[in-house]
């Protein structure tokens, strides 16, 4: 069994394997997983982290496992003629939905009630299958795995 005890972002070392996980599965602290190659890995991190596509888990011996975003069934939401993207983002945020926000598109998990609401607002909706990396808001904390100190406290 492999043991992952730390993580890093976009590691350049040649990985010994990959772990393909959906966006919920990439929120890890302590969990037993099976790599895409069939190896068992025990993830035991000091704190919960949110891993992104391309990040890596570091094994006890220094080798790495690359994290891959699993394809997920999503809606690609685009603004209509009379409904700007910011307006759509506000409605989605008001409902506390996980969303990946791009310059001209918002990706969300499929939900027919939300789709109906968005279409009623004038949005254009397309069903897609893609990796999903939703933005995490102010209440999520700093669990993406980076530490920083910019001179003030977050109490």
The reported pLDDT for the residue numbered 149 is 34
pLDDT band per the 50, 70, 90 thresholds, residue 38: very high
The hierarchical CATH code for the domain 72-130 is 3.30.70.790
CA atoms within 13 A on the CB side of 123: 27
Q: What is the rounded average pLDDT for all residues in the chain?
A: 88
pLDDT band per the 50, 70, 90 thresholds, residue 10: confident
Residue with tokens 């690609």: 76
Q: Cα(4)–Cα(60) distance, rounded to whole angstroms?
A: 6
Say if residue 155's pLDDT is above 70: no
Tokens of 68: 């891959």
**Domain spanning 2-69: CATH 1.10.357.10:** no
User: What is the residue extent of each domain of the chain?
Assistant: 2-69, 72-130
pLDDT band per the 50, 70, 90 thresholds, residue 14: confident
Higher pLDDT residue, 143 or 138?
A: 138
């Amino acid at each position: 069994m492999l043991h992952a005890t730390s993580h890093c972002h976009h590691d350049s070392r040649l990985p010994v394997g990959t772990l393909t996980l959906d966006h919920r599965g990439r929120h890890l602290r302590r969990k037993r997983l099976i790599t895409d190659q069939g190896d068992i890995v025990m993830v035991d991190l000091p704190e919960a982290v949110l891993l992104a596509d391309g990040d890596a888990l570091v094994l006890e011996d220094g080798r790495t496992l690359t994290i891959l975003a699993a394809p997920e069934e999503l809606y690609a939401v685009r603004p209509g003629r009379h409904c700007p993207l910011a307006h759509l983002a506000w409605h989605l945020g008001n409902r506390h939905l996980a969303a990946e926000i791009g310059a001209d598109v918002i990706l969300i998990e499929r939900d027919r009630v939300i789709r109906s609401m968005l279409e009623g607002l004038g949005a254009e909706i397309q069903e897609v299958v893609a990796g999903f990396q939703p933005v995490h808001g102010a209440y999520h904390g700093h669990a993406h795995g980076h530490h920083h100190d910019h001179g003030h406290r977050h109490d």
